[in-house]
C-alpha cells in the first residue's frame, strides 16, 4: 500500500495546451480515491502521470515520501486497468492473468499459485482455460483486474473500467470492485465521468473541471456542501437547480416568491444584492408536506418520470427582466428568462403532464452562491 501526494502538479503539452493546473491533494494509504469530471477535464492525464505514462511539467508526485517524477512506469510498482481491458485474445484467461509474472521471470509453480489465488478472489477459476472471445464484458473486466492483482502493486489505477459495459452489468461490477478494494486494502485510484460511480465507490472524490481541481471531499461533503456552482451542478442525479436571487436583509427573494434566509447562511451572507440560489430536487415537495416557513408556488408540470421508487417532475419557472444577471462566465447558470427545473416528489402521488401543482421549496435546503465567483457562500464565512 502507498500514500500518494500530488504537490502543485501541472501538465502542459508541447503546443502550449495546459491540461492540468497546480493540482495538489493527498491520496491516503489504502484509500479508494475517485477522479471525476466531464470529458476533457484532465482526469485521465492525471492518472497517466501518476503511473508514469505521461511526464510531469511542473510540481512533484511522491509515493511514501519518495519523488517519482522521473521513474519509469515499470519501477513504480503500480498496476493499471484500462477502459479497453487490453487482454490478449490468443491467450487463455489463466495465461492473461499470469502474463506479467512470466515477464518478471517467476517460476511456473509460483505463477500458477498466484494466478489461482487471483482467480479465486475474482471468481474466475472455472474460466481459466477459456479464451477472451467466449467471455462476457464483465468477465473480461475481471480478467484485466486479475492481471493487475497478481503483481501485488502498491496502488491500482483504473481508467473508466466500466464504461464499455451495459447499465445492469455496470451496477454489478461497481459493487464487485468496491468489495474487492475493501478486501485487499490497497490504494486504488479510479477515473470516471459518471458521478454515480464516484458517489457510490469513493472514500473521497476529487472533482475536476478544465484542468483544475474544484473540490476534494467525501461523497457526502460534495453533495451537502458543494464548493461552487460547478460541483453543485455536476454531483447529484438529477443535478442541482439554479435560479437568480436577491438578498434583502434576512429575506431571500426569488423569481417565484420570498423566503426567510436559512439560519445556517446568516453568518456567511455577503450583504444585500444578487446571488445564485440552488436547490436539489428533493428540496421540492407537494404543498402541505413541508414547514410553514417554506416557499409555496405553483408550477405547470411539463415532464413526469415515474421510476417506481422515485417520481421526478420537470417544470418551468419564468422571470421578468429584473432578474436578468450578467454572469457570462458561470456556465452552470441557466439561460436568462426561463429554465426547466426538476423536483423529486412522493412516488405515491398521481401526477400527469400538463397538470398545475402547488409545490413547496424547503428553505433550509437552499444553497447560495456568490454571483461573481460562483463560490458557495456557506463555505466563505
First CA to last CA across the chain, in angstroms? 38
Residue ranges of alpha helices (H) inside 65-166 are 93-103, 108-121, 137-149
Domain ranges of the chain: 4-230, 231-379
Pairing state of beta strands 311-318 and 295-306? antiparallel
4-230: which CATH number, 2.40.50.100, 3.40.50.300, 3.40.190.10, 3.90.76.10?
Answer: 3.40.50.300
Q: What is the 3 state secondary structure string of 293-347? A: CCEEEEEEEEEEEECCCCEEEEEEEECCHHHCCCCCCCCCCCCCCEEEEEEEECC
Tens digit of each residue's pLDDT, the chain (381 residues): 689 999 999 999 888 889 999 999 999 999 999 999 998 899 999 999 999 999 999 999 999 999 999 999 988 989 888 877 778 889 999 999 999 888 888 899 999 998 998 888 888 899 999 998 898 877 888 888 888 888 888 998 999 888 777 777 788 878 888 888 888 888 999 999 988 899 999 999 999 999 999 999 999 999 999 999 999 999 998 889 998 888 888 888 888 888 888 777 776 666 777 888 999 999 999 876 656 678 999 999 999 999 999 999 999 887 766 665 534 334 445 555 557 899 999 999 999 999 999 999 998 899 999 878 889 988 765
Determine the Cα–Cα distance for residues 203 and 262; give it in Å rounded to an integer. 30
Q: Cell 440560489: give the residue.
A: 277
How buried is residue 254: exposed, middle or buried, by Cβ count under 10 Å (0-12/13-18/19+)? buried
Residue 168: predicted pLDDT: 78
Q: Please check whether residue 371 is in contact with residue 226, taking contact to mean a CB–CB distance below 8 angstroms.
A: no
Q: Please check whether residue 344 is in contact with residue 284, taking contact to mean a CB–CB distance below 8 angstroms.
A: yes
Overall pTM > 0.85: yes
Residue 348: predicted pLDDT: 92
Residue 326: predicted pLDDT: 38
> Residue 243 belongs to what H/E stretch?
strand 241-248
Q: Please check whether residue 329 is in contact with residue 340, taking contact to mean a CB–CB distance below 8 angstroms.
A: no
Coil, strand or helix: which one is 200?
A: helix
**Roughly what angle, to the nearest 10 degrees, separates helices 137-149 and 108-121?**
130
Coil, strand or helix: which one is 26?
A: strand
Contact partners, residue 220, CB within 8 Å, separation at least 6: none
User: CATH class for domain 231-379?
Assistant: mainly beta
How buried is residue 362: exposed, middle or buried, by Cβ count under 10 Å (0-12/13-18/19+)? buried
Give the HSE-up count for residue 359: Cα atoms under 13 Å, Cβ half-sphere.
Answer: 31
Q: Cell 447562511: give the residue.
A: 265
List the grid coordinates of 373: 465567483
Residue 323: predicted pLDDT: 64
Amino acid at each position: 500500500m502507498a500514500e500518494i501526494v500530488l504537490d502543485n502538479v501541472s501538465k502542459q503539452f508541447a503546443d502550449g495546451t495546459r491540461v492540468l493546473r497546480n493540482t495538489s491533494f493527498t491520496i491516503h494509504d489504502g484509500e479508494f480515491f475517485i477522479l471525476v469530471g466531464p470529458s476533457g477535464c484532465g482526469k485521465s492525464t492525471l492518472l497517466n502521470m501518476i503511473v508514469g505514462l505521461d511526464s510531469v511539467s511542473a510540481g512533484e508526485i511522491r509515493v511514501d515520501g519518495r519523488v517519482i517524477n522521473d521513474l519509469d512506469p515499470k519501477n513504480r510498482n503500480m498496476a493499471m486497468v484500462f477502459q479497453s481491458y487490453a487482454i490478449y485474445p490468443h491467450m487463455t484467461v489463466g495465461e492473461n492473468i499470469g502474463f506479467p509474472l512470466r515477464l518478471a521471470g517467476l517460476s511456473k509453480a509460483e505463477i500458477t499459485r498466484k494466478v489461482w489465488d487471483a482467480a479465486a478472489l475474482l471468481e474466475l477459476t472455472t474460466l481459466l482455460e477459456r479464451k477472451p472471445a467466449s467471455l462476457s464484458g464483465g468477465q473480461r473486466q475481471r480478467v484485466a483486474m486479475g492481471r493487475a492483482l497478481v503483481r501485488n502493486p502498491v496502488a491500482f489505477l483504473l481508467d473508466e473500467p466500466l464504461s464499455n459495459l451495459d447499465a445492469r452489468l455496470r451496477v454489478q461490477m461497481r459493487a464487485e470492485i468496491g468489495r474487492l478494494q475493501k478486501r485487499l486494502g490497497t490504494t486504488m485510484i479510479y477515473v470516471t465521468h459518471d458521478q454515480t460511480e464516484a458517489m457510490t465507490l469513493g472514500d473521497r472524490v476529487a472533482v475536476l473541471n478544465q484542468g483544475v481541481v474544484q473540490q476534494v471531499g467525501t461523497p457526502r461533503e460534495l453533495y451537502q456542501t458543494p464548493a461552487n456552482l460547478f460541483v453543485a451542478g455536476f454531483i447529484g442525479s438529477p443535478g442541482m437547480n439554479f435560479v437568480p436571487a436577491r438578498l434583502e436583509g434576512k429575506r431571500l427573494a426569488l423569481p417565484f416568491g420570498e423566503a426567510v434566509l436559512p439560519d445556517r447562511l446568516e453568518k456567511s451572507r455577503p450583504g444585500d444584492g444578487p446571488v445564485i440560489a440552488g436547490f436539489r430536487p428533493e428540496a421540492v415537495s407537494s404543498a402541505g408536506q413541508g414547514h410553514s416557513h417554506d416557499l409555496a408556488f405553483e408550477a405547470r408540470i411539463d415532464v413526469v418520470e415515474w421510476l417506481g421508487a422515485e417520481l421526478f417532475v420537470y417544470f418551468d419557472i419564468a422571470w421578468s427582466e429584473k432578474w436578468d444577471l450578467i454572469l457570462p462566465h458561470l456556465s452552470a447558470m441557466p439561460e436568462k428568462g426561463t429554465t426547466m427545473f426538476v423536483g423529486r416528489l412522493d412516488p405515491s402521488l398521481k401526477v400527469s403532464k400538463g397538470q398545475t401543482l402547488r409545490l413547496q421549496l424547503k428553505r433550509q435546503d437552499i444553497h447560495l452562491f456568490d454571483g461573481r465567483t460562483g463560490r458557495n457562500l456557506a463555505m466563505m464565512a
